[in-house]
Each structure stands twice: as structure tokens, then as C-alpha cells.
Amino acid sequence: MRGETRPGLGGSAKILTAFFQRDPATVARELLGTFLAVGDTGGIITETEAYRPDDPASHAYRGETAGNRALFGKPATAYIYRSYGIHWCLNFVCGKTQTGSAVLIRALEPTVGLERMRKRRGVDEIRLLCSGPGKLTKALGITNALNGKPLNEPPFLLKLQPHPPEDIIVGPRIGITRGIETPWRFGLRTSRFLSRRFL
DNA sequence: TCGCCGATGTTCT
DNA sequence: GAACATCGGCGAT
């Protein structure tokens, strides 16, 4: 996707849909450097992971269930699930409709609403506010109330970048036991706001 | 900086 | 029962 096809601000449903209606690994790379806000808090996406339905690590691998229904919804919507019974994790649905493809948002560089995020997290250090998928949902106030919601409408705001990011680091995905051979974790190489080092 | 471990709830076998 | 796309605290290095 070239710069002229991307919005400078916000994002119409049409443009966001076109952006997400592609392979999740491509979308995961190009989401790096984009600004994401939820309500009055947000930051720059620094780390993502791609999941495909034919991938044993994906929640879509065994087909649609009540719990993963949003993952089979429209592109450019949110899929939110509870992780380890404690945390919420945020995904963006990709591909053509009902494919079960998604990108997990793993880390942000916090830029907006820092005090609000510190309060929600109970942590002062800015580098720790959104440096993990469970941390960033807590900092942004995300719960499954936003599951299935479109990303072009409040409380979401996604500002795509005019150009795809450069200097991307790639590695194996985190915390999975199957599909570990597929290097679909992506990060901004020079960012100080990653969840963990890349291997 | 690293590795281990317990907490916790939903889903699937 | 087991597995799980995690986190924070702890002690060892």
C-alpha cells in the first residue's frame, strides 16, 4: 500500500478495511509506527505478531467457537480475549471477511494520556506502561466490551503512516508452544518500548 | 538480566 | 482436568 492511499488522520472505514484486508504478516509489519489511541490514551505501535487460521498457534486453528467469534468477523475490527484468566489481549482482524486472521498488538510507546495510564497500571516507569500485550490493554482501559468493535470508530483511533516502517526486527512469536518455527513477531528495531528482546 | 513460579478464568478434551 | 498469544515478584547470576 502506497502513501497516497493512506489517511493522514483517523481513517475512513474504506481505507482501513483495505489496509487490513491483506495477509496478517504484511499488516503486522506495516502497523509498526502507527499511532493507536483508545479514548484519551494511546501511543505508537512498536511490536506486533501475526496469526493465520492454518497456523497451530492461532485461536482460529480449530475453527469458530463462541469465544473466538470476533476473530472471524470483518477486517478492521477488534478481537479481544482473556489471556491466562487475568489479562486482556488486543488483536486487529485481518484478511477478507471471516478468515480468522489477526495481528496481536504486543507493545506501544506511550505518548498520550501518560498519567491516566500510570494510574491504571499502578506503575510510574514509562517504559513499563505498555511493554506487553496484557500491560497495554490495562493501560488503555481495554476490556472485552470492545470485542468486535470497528477500529475506525471511537473509542478507537488508528493513524496509519504515509510510508511503511524501516528498520524492522523479526523473530519467533512469544509464549506459544506450537507454530514456533514461524517468525511472525515484528518490532521497531531501535525502540526502547518492546516487550522483550528479539532472539 | 534471567529463570522460575503462582495467580486466575475460559475453553476444550 | 489440562492448556493457555501473561505478568510481577523473587532469588540467583
Instruction: Indicate if CB(A123) is under 7 A from strand C.
Output: yes
Instruction: Indicate if CB(A82) is under 7 A from strand C.
Output: no
Asked, for residue A136, whether it belongs to a domain, the answer is yes
Owning domain of residue A116: 13-188
Q: What is the pLDDT of residue A1?
A: 52
Asked, for residue A6, whether it belongs to a domain, the answer is no
Distances (CA, A) of A39 to A89, A137, A157: 17, 12, 8
Instruction: Give tens-digit pLDDT for A129-188.
Output: 999 999 999 999 999 999 999 999 999 999 999 888 999 999 999 999 888 889 999 999
Tell me, in Å, how far CA of A85 is from C1' of B7? 9
Instruction: Indicate if CB(A179) is under 7 A from strand C.
Output: no
The residue behind cell 496469526 is A51
Instruction: Give tens-digit pLDDT for A100-140.
Output: 999 999 999 999 999 999 999 999 999 999 999 999 999 99
Widest distance between CA atoms in chain A:
42
Q: Which residues fall inside 7 Å of strand B, measured at CB?
A: A 62, 65-68, 82, 84-86, 197
A93 and A78 in contact (C-beta within 8 Å)? yes
Tell me, in Å, how far CA of A125 is from C1' of B8? 26
* Nucleotide nearest the Cα atom of A131 (by C1'): C7
pTM of the predicted protein model: 0.93
Asked, for residue A128, whether it belongs to a domain, the answer is yes
Q: What is the pLDDT of residue A4?
A: 40
Asked, for residue A2, whether it belongs to a domain, the answer is no
Q: What is the pLDDT of residue A50?
A: 96
Q: Could you give the CA distance from residue A181 to residue A95 in angstroms, rounded to a whole number?
A: 22
> Does residue A8 have a pLDDT over 80?
no
Tell me, in Å, how far CA of A24 is from C1' of C5? 14
Instruction: Give tens-digit pLDDT for A23-55.
Output: 999 999 999 999 999 999 999 999 999 999 999
Q: What is the pLDDT of residue A38?
A: 97
Asked, for residue A197, whether it belongs to a domain, the answer is no
Instruction: Give tens-digit pLDDT for A72-106.
Output: 999 999 999 999 989 999 999 999 887 899 999 99
Q: What is the pLDDT of residue A66?
A: 87
> Does residue A15 have a pLDDT over 80?
yes
Asked, for residue A104, whether it belongs to a domain, the answer is yes
Instruction: Give tens-digit pLDDT for A61-70.
Output: 989 988 899 9
Domain count for chain A, please give it: 1
* Nucleotide nearest the Cα atom of A122 (by C1'): C8
Task: Give the CATH number, domain containing residue A17.
Answer: 3.10.300.10
Asked, for residue A183, whether it belongs to a domain, the answer is yes
Tell me, in Å, how far CA of A4 is from C1' of C2? 50
Asked, for residue A100, whether it belongs to a domain, the answer is yes
Residue closest to B8, CA→C1'?
A85
Tell me, in Å, how far CA of A96 is from C1' of B7? 38
Q: What is the pLDDT of residue A98?
A: 77
Q: What is the pLDDT of residue A27?
A: 97
Tell me, in Å, how far CA of A101 is from C1' of C12? 41
